[in-house]
Amino acid sequence: MNSERVFTALLRLYPRRFRNEYGDEMLAVFSELQAHREGSPVAFWAFVLTDTLSAAARERLEGTRWLATAACGLLVTAIVGNATAWAYRYFYHPYFEGLTIRVLPYGLGLGLVLGVSVALAQRLLYPSSERRARQWMLASAIALPIVVLFCSAAIDRTATGVLPIANVHPSLRDLFVLGLAQPRSWSALATEFGAMAASALAARALLVAPFIRSRHAH
Amino acid sequence: MTPTRAEFHVLLALLDGPRHGYGLMQDVEELSAGRLQIGPGTLYTAIKRLRTARLISETGADAERRRCYKLTRKGRTVAEEEARRLNDLVRLARKRGLLPSTS
């Protein structure tokens, strides 16, 4: 097996899109590098291997950042949403009989939490503002419906008192598994989804858009 | 964006005009007096990031049909900002006695 074939095999460590875009060029550069190399073959291959492994790992990690962003938004919003519902249940008093958490403000509030948490996660994970702007929509599109399902179920449990009082301290299983129950009605779900989307977009506009605009001004 | 060490060297190499991949690798090594050697992986992940941030762009192929890259106006501004930032840090290090004073 000659050197080019070994390097072509190493290129498979990179994500396919990256390989399709730069694979041929990288192979050409590798050939020139090998033709002009000085020193032992062992040192040359150690250099090529460490470079390939570290660069491929970075590139693979880059490809999963959107998932980390969505997960961060999802986790923070689910915790805040469920904590609100559980707090309502915990501090419930007969004096508040008939008082329920309204779907619309609850959705608006959670959307705000989602927008802020996703924007903050992106500031940490994405050094490039342009890329951050594109990835935001993808992360939110994944996180939003899941969060809505969770939180609708949390409201449902709170309002109807389905769970016994002994469960006021939710376990991780309660938070992620029992949360995925049916929402009360499709119209409630639609209202909440719309409210969440609107406030998440508003939070994004406030937190991320000015930053992007200032970058484009340069 | 704040360029990494390899990315900043790529931007510096492109100040002299368009370069192809191998030319960039040689320039980076020369500019850093041999202290920074980048392989094809580091070079092309840097090129991808710089292209995404629109700091460099692709230009026509050279005589040997190798893809060449050039610095954009935005890339030049970012390189200037980074150079200024590093210069300020060096000045601060001198002021604190970490580096010998030039005067």
A-chain residue closest to B74, CA distance: A218
Interface contact A29-B25, CB threshold 8 A: yes
- Whether B4 has its CB under 8 Å from any CB of chain A: the answer is no
Is residue A188 over pLDDT 80?
no
- Whether B87 has its CB under 8 Å from any CB of chain A: the answer is no
Is residue A179 over pLDDT 50?
no
B-chain residue closest to A126, CA distance: B1
Q: What is the pLDDT of residues A153-165, one digit of tens each?
A: 555 555 544 433 3
B-chain residue closest to A27, CA distance: B40
- List of domains in chain B: 5-95 (1.10.10.10)
Distance CA A184, CA B90 (A): 63
Is residue B9 over pLDDT 60?
yes
pTM (predicted TM-score): 0.62
Residue with tokens 């050094």: A127
What are the b/e assignments for A139-175, b being 16+ CB within 10 Å? bbebbbebbbbbbbbbbbbbbeeeeeeeeeebeeebb
The ipTM (two decimal places) reads 0.88
Interface contact A33-B22, CB threshold 8 A: yes
Quickly state the pLDDT bin for B23 (edges 50, 70, 90).
Answer: very high
